[in-house]
A and B are shown apart, each in its own frame.
Chain A
């Protein structure tokens, strides 16, 4: 890919007496190809980001006129207990969701064999990821039900009275994260299975000759080669953790008493509250969430930029 457009343009030069568009077609072409997608993406994704940040400086119910409040919404956030609960829960999500990465690796290692029927096993293990989180949420809500659910049955089997996980302020977030881990582990597993497929057999053999086995082999020879898979797994898990919305909406709606809220759900709840829309305040919460995400986005782009250069 050494040649660039400059050469192609010079090659077209002999035809140069034609229309301006024709002469400049190499220059114009990318913009014509880009235009529909770019305009569309700008209207629905790029512009709204800045609009949201702008709206976060206003008090607005979505209907009447906007009222400028400056940093007012952010000042209010500083004293909002529900905001802090959501923030703390987001940290829990980020930390505990990361368990999906090693767990996915574990299952991938377990399944990376060539016995008969293994392909079916791999696809079936991947199943939870394909299912809507709404369905996952309903299944786990039912599992956690102390009267009807599996939790109730297991606890009663041991003669204990079952906890109402989703009604317990201290347990509820962990219950929801566990439900979220189920599909996320499946996702990480598939990333690692593909990664393991591409591990160089020569290096594994060389390692075996050097008497590396088990954990040592995994740590020094396999994991370095799985780095790209790990990178993607971490990225999608972080994003999944910060985007957690569906499960909370289905399982608890942030309750009991806001104890399972996260920023994504709290923003939605505030902006479209039944007690009147608070677009400005909601946008301030969204902006905080966006800034947190921006750390990861920048990191990802920086990594990509390094790859582009190299």
Chain B
């Protein structure tokens, strides 16, 4: 193990480490703590310049309720759910198929097509912006949740296919081979044999894509105009304009936007990290 395990060090070093650890964390998360404290402050604190001290009153429920009452935050959050969940299902579902096709069958297009998915995953959003916006306008998908879901799913397929293909490739090929010899159909092999084995990959991808899509801001700005379909990330920006200098409400709204991915991360931490670091441990 590197660095040297701290338990082999002198008592002084150990205590020092135990003291520095929380201090370092405190500094690292200071921005978040500050925004949380602000979100429960009364407005008068901010006007009097009490911004980083203790709040003079704790208005946790009042401030958060005010965000929902005075703005469309509730609707924005619901829109984010309506955008994120179908995207996760569509992108992860389709990538099981593409990943399977590109890993189990060895045909001459397998590697070139795989590279197309990988390369597509890395392109800057701006090179897609004008045609995708134009396509959405022409097909009546502009300014709809459906339009955003379709685009997100298609784009995330790049990353999902990369992930799935590598995951399935690492499964023992003999399993599939022996099923074929037994005369099991190709789709049955996929459905009954491979799919149960890729469950961990599905879990990892789902949490990752959930976070990516929930946090998307660019495409929401490009493809959505009205409040009826605006997700919370773009909504928070709108609120920022609406609640001018009411920092306690802006902070509360920001934290509301951040909570779902944070909960997702904590609930599925193992899968989340496995997803992010795939490829970082091998190759």
Contacts and interface: CB of A to CB of B under 8 A. Distances in A.
A25 B187 CA distance: 10
A131 B262 contact: yes
B217 A249 contact: yes
Contacts of B118: 300-301, 304
A69 interface: no
A46 B279 contact: no
A109 B234 CA distance: 36
Contacts, number: 304
A19 interface: no
B98 A48 contact: no
Given A5-B107, A139-B31, A286 B119 contact: no
A297 B106 contact: no
Contact of A26 (B2, B186, B257): B186
Interface stretch (B22-30, B61-69, B81-89): B22-30
A296 B31 contact: no
Interface string B10-33: 000010011001001100110110
Contacts of A261: none
B145 interface: no
A133 interface: yes
Contacts of B105: 5, 26, 29-30
A211 interface: no
Interface string A275-310: 000010011011101100100110011001101100
A272 to B, nearest CB: 7
A45 B2 contact: no
A37 B282 contact: no
- Provide the main secondary structure of the chain A interface: helix
Contact of A246 (B94, B161, B218): B218
Contact of A268 (B18, B29, B100, B129): B129
Interface stretch (A70-78, A94-102, A160-168, A194-202): A194-202
B52 A52 contact: no
Interface size on B, as a range, is: 35 or more
A279 to B, nearest CB: 5
Nearest to B254: A135
Interface string A27-64: 10111011011101101111111011101000000100
B37 to A, nearest CB: 12
Interface residues of A, number: 112
Given A8-B177, A112-B3, A148-B247, A293 B123 contact: yes
Contact of B186 (A25, A115, A221, A233): A25
B110 A40 contact: no
A26 B214 CA distance: 39
Nearest to B110: A30
Contacts of B127: 48-49, 52-53, 286-287, 289-290
Contacts of A38: 98, 113
A146 B134 CA distance: 42
Contacts of B240: 138, 250
29 contacts: A34-B98, A34-B113, A40-B157, A41-B158, A44-B132, A44-B151, A45-B157, A62-B134, A113-B5, A113-B17, A115-B21, A125-B25, A127-B262, A131-B32, A132-B233, A133-B215, A133-B217, A136-B31, A149-B51, A190-B273, A190-B276, A195-B277, A196-B2, A197-B281, A250-B237, A268-B218, A271-B130, A293-B123, A301-B119
